[in-house]
Chain A
Amino acid sequence: MRIEWLLALRFLKEGRAQTFFMLGGVTMGVGVIVFLTSLITGLQRSIIEKTLGTQAHVVMRPPDDEARRIIMPDSARAVSANVERRAQRLSSILQWQQIMRELEKRPEVTAVSPLVAGPSFAIRGSATKSVALMGIDPEKYTRIVPMSSFMKEGEFRITANDAAIGTDLARDLGVTLGDKIRLQTADGRSETITVAGIFDVGIRDLNRRWVFITLRSAQNLLDLVGGVSSIDVTVRDLFKADAIGEQLAQQTGLTAESWMKTNAQLMVGLKSQSASSYMIQFFVIISVAFGITSVLVVSVIQKSREVGILRAMGCSRKRIRHIFLLQGGLVGLSGSLFGSGLGALLVTFFASTAKNPDGTPIFPVVLEPGMFLVAAGVATVTGILAAAAPAVRAAKLDPVVAIRNV
């Protein structure tokens, strides 16, 4: 062990109460940071999971129809015209099979699924409900939205005859498994399906409106033969959905909407939550640093005689400085170990008390090794920085004065 380490450790051991208070400060600071970080990470993750449980990360759609002008203005003549925006028809993505193959090849894309979506009515007896037709390829779609896990009754079996509807629609229409429903669109096309599964995705509006049928049935009903209205995409890193979406849009000429854009409000909420948590952490770090500094300043004054003796015996100023910097760093590092334990304990306890009415935890506890490493790093650096002023002060001590002042 180098002599600086030996001296730093021995000084820390000797100054029992002071070391205890510094360690306590760092422990609590790191504890709060670990607790806050894992709490907020857990909460945000569960919110995002719930939101994205029923959404694709990126939805690719054909570009909007534009009104084409017959007379264009030029330098020779002005044109007075009122160009109205076109009503957007349900249109198909051109060459969607080829686009899907291209998308599937990209490494950041984990799943791709075609969708034919459009409005319709669900009719049973005298009840008529407005619904959203979801024409899908069940095998591909379940890789984007895990419908099987949402099933309340029956199974997510989508065939030419079988369809899946939500619990609220089932109640509104008074149907159970095996019952038949007629789907009819505004222009009179209709088809009869059998309810093979009833799902609950946790969002009432979707439970009331979604009707899952095959791609082909939806194409027939919505007069989109051979086409699809959008392509759902999931990506590996969901926080890069926006950027990836833009790349995909450029590559394919389609428009891309990421979940971040769709849920802009949520993103703002998450971001300000993170920002306020960083703010709190920042001030916790600052106050821990102040604590270390003030204790070490006192310790330098108390140790000035020892510093003087060491200087007389051939200990350089640099070494004196290192001894006190090391004390700060060691307190930071060991405090962060205790603090990580404390934080983990707190968050586990908190998670065990915060439960939904049905007994499931409100949020999953997120304790990642990376977070502890960051906490240890930040605490060590904070300790060293906090020790800087006392260390410089100790190094500047005049050995003659330091020895005299018994």
Chain B
Amino acid sequence: MSDISNIIQLTDVRKVYGNDGITTEVLHGIDLTLQQGEFTALIGPSGSGKSTLLNIIGLLEQSTSGIIQVQGRETGALSDEELTLLRGRSIGFVFQFHHLIPAFSALENVMMPLMLEAGRPLAAQRERATALLTRVGLADRLDFKPAKLSGGQQQRVAIARALAANPPLILADEPTGNLDTASADEIFKLLYEVNQESGTTFLIVTHDPRLAHRCRRVVELVDGRIVV
């Protein structure tokens, strides 16, 4: 029952840490579907398994059991190489701590997913990265190294980078967790606008109930189970 408009479909996904001796089951049979264009918040207390779930959806971590489909494609049998390729094409990441590469300028950081896909820098990538940085309001900071940018600016670069390869899904892990309220509001607004403009699906992990309530859908995770 895979539907192409389902960007992500999880069926009975479990995650168990530790193998011999003490094992901890972090996720207990998660069923979750994200459809094209959805803007979803993932909330829950610390230790509820939010990050693990996000990593599994982002194909950074393997589930212990269950089915994960990305745009209708089953990922269980894919090799590490294939998963990497699928991840690069389908999923953009925005992390809490910006995670830009310090040795590269803002422009080059945004170009990075494109360069990785094409294998080399190209003029077209430069144009797209410039357009994206202009879109997030950093047209005058193209050649700045991350260290020269403020926290909010770095997060804008990270968002531009997540958008670069035009992935259908963007996963954001506490994207505003490290910012002051004003910057956090701006970043959140930017994510929302991008969602409206491009129809990109967003899954945003947040602690901030104020932000969560502004999302159209809220998924709450408690003790490894979805409660809403």
Instruction: Say if the beta carbon of B99 comes within 8 Å of chain A.
Output: yes
Cβ contact within 8 Å between A316 and B85: yes
On whether the beta carbons of A314 and B116 are closer than 8 Å, the reply is yes
A400 lies within 8 A of B121 (CB): no
Q: Which residues of A contact B93 (CB under 8 A)?
A: 312-313
CB distance from B14 to the nearest CB of A (A): 17
Which residue on B lies nearest to A399, using beta carbons? B60
Overall SS of chain A's interface? helix
Whether B202 is near chain A, meaning CB under 8 Å from some CB there, is no
Residue B74 interfacial (CB < 8 Å): no
Q: Give the contact-size bracket for chain B.
A: 20 to 34
Contact among A3, A14, A308, A314 with B84 in the assembled complex (CB-CB below 8 Å): A314
Q: Using a CB-CB cutoff of 8 Å, which residues 47-62 of chain B contact chain A? A: 55, 58, 60-61
**Interchain CA distance A185-B161 in the complex, whole Å:** 101
Closest beta carbon of chain A to B78's beta carbon, Å: 13
Nearest chain A CB to B127 CB, angstrom units = 18
Counting CB contacts under 8 A, is B138 at the interface?
no
- Convert A294-326 into 0s and 1s, putting 1 for each residue whose CB lies closer than 8 angstroms to a CB of B: 000000000001101111111111110000000
The reply to whether the CB of A381 lies closer than 8 angstroms to some CB of chain B is no
Q: Does B95 contact A (CB under 8 A)?
A: yes
**Chain B 110-136 per-residue mask, 1 if CB under 8 angstroms from chain A, else 0:** 001101111111000000000000000
In chain B, what residue has the closest Cβ to A13? B103
- A312-B58, A317-B84, A400-B60 known; A3 and B116 CB under 8 Å? yes
Q: From B52, which residue of chain A is reached at the shortest CB distance?
A: A400
Contact B103 A313 (CB under 8 A): no
Cα(A311)–Cα(B93), bound, Å: 11
Give A342 to B191 CA distance when docked, in angstroms.
56
Given contacts A314-B113, A400-B60, contact A406 B103 (CB under 8 A): no
Contact with B along A364-406 (1 / 0, CB 8 A): 0000000000000000000000000000000000011001001
Q: Are B121 and A312 in contact (CB under 8 A)?
A: no
Contact of B121 among A1, A308, A317 (CB under 8 A): A1
B42 to chain A, nearest CB (A): 17
Q: Which A residues are CB-close (under 8 A) to B100? A: 309
Is there an interface contact between B121 and A6, defined as CB atoms closer than 8 Å? yes
Task: Choose among B84, B89, B118, B120 the residue that contacts A1 (Cβ–Cβ < 8 A).
Answer: B120
Task: With both chains docked as a complex, state the minimum distance between the C-beta of B158 and any C-beta of chain A, in angstroms.
Answer: 10
Contact with A314, one of B80, B87, B99 (Cβ below 8 angstroms): B87
**Docked complex Cα distance between A23 and B89 (Å):** 38
B139 proximal to A (CB < 8 A): no
Q: Does A11 contact B (CB under 8 A)?
A: yes
| B104: Cβ under 8 A from any A Cβ | yes
In the complex formed, the residue of B with least CB distance to A316 is B84
> Chain A contacts of B118 at CB under 8 A?
3
**Chain B nearest Cβ from A12, distance in angstroms:** 9
Q: A1-B120, A3-B120, A313-B112 are in contact. Are A403 and B95 (CB under 8 A)?
A: yes
Asked if A406 and B58 sit within 8 Å, CB to CB, the answer is no
B99 touches A317 (CB 8 A): no
Q: How far is the CB of A120 from chain B (nearest CB, A)?
A: 82
Contact A313 B55 (CB under 8 A): no
Q: Which A residue sits closest to B95, measured CB to CB?
A: A403
Question: Complex Cα distance A1/B116, Å?
Answer: 12
Q: How far is the CB of A398 from chain B (nearest CB, A)?
A: 8
CB-based contact B81/A318 at 8 Å: yes
- Distance between B46 CB and nearest chain A CB, rounded to angstroms: 14
Task: Say which residue of A1, A312, A316 sits within 8 Å of B60 (CB atoms).
Answer: A312
- Is there a chain A Cβ closer than 8 Å to B188's Cβ? no
Residues of chain B within 8 A (CB-CB) of A403 are: 95, 99
Known: A2-B119, A3-B116, A315-B116. A10 touches B84 (CB 8 A): no
Is B88 within 8 A of A2, CB to CB? no
30 inter-chain pairs at a CB distance below 8 angstroms, sorted by A residue, are: A2-B119, A2-B120, A3-B118, A3-B120, A3-B121, A6-B120, A6-B121, A10-B103, A10-B104, A13-B103, A305-B99, A306-B102, A309-B95, A310-B116, A311-B60, A311-B84, A312-B60, A312-B87, A313-B113, A314-B84, A314-B88, A314-B89, A315-B84, A316-B81, A317-B80, A319-B116, A399-B60, A400-B55, A400-B60, A403-B99
Interface residues of B (CB under 8 A from A): 55, 58, 60-61, 80-81, 84-85, 87-89, 93, 95, 97, 99-104, 112-113, 115-121, 161, 165
Additional pairs, 10, CB under 8 Å, beyond known A306-B101, A311-B60: A6-B115, A10-B103, A11-B103, A305-B99, A306-B103, A310-B112, A313-B116, A314-B113, A314-B116, A403-B95
**7 tightest A-B CB contacts, nearest first:** A314-B88, A14-B103, A10-B103, A313-B113, A3-B115, A316-B84, A309-B99
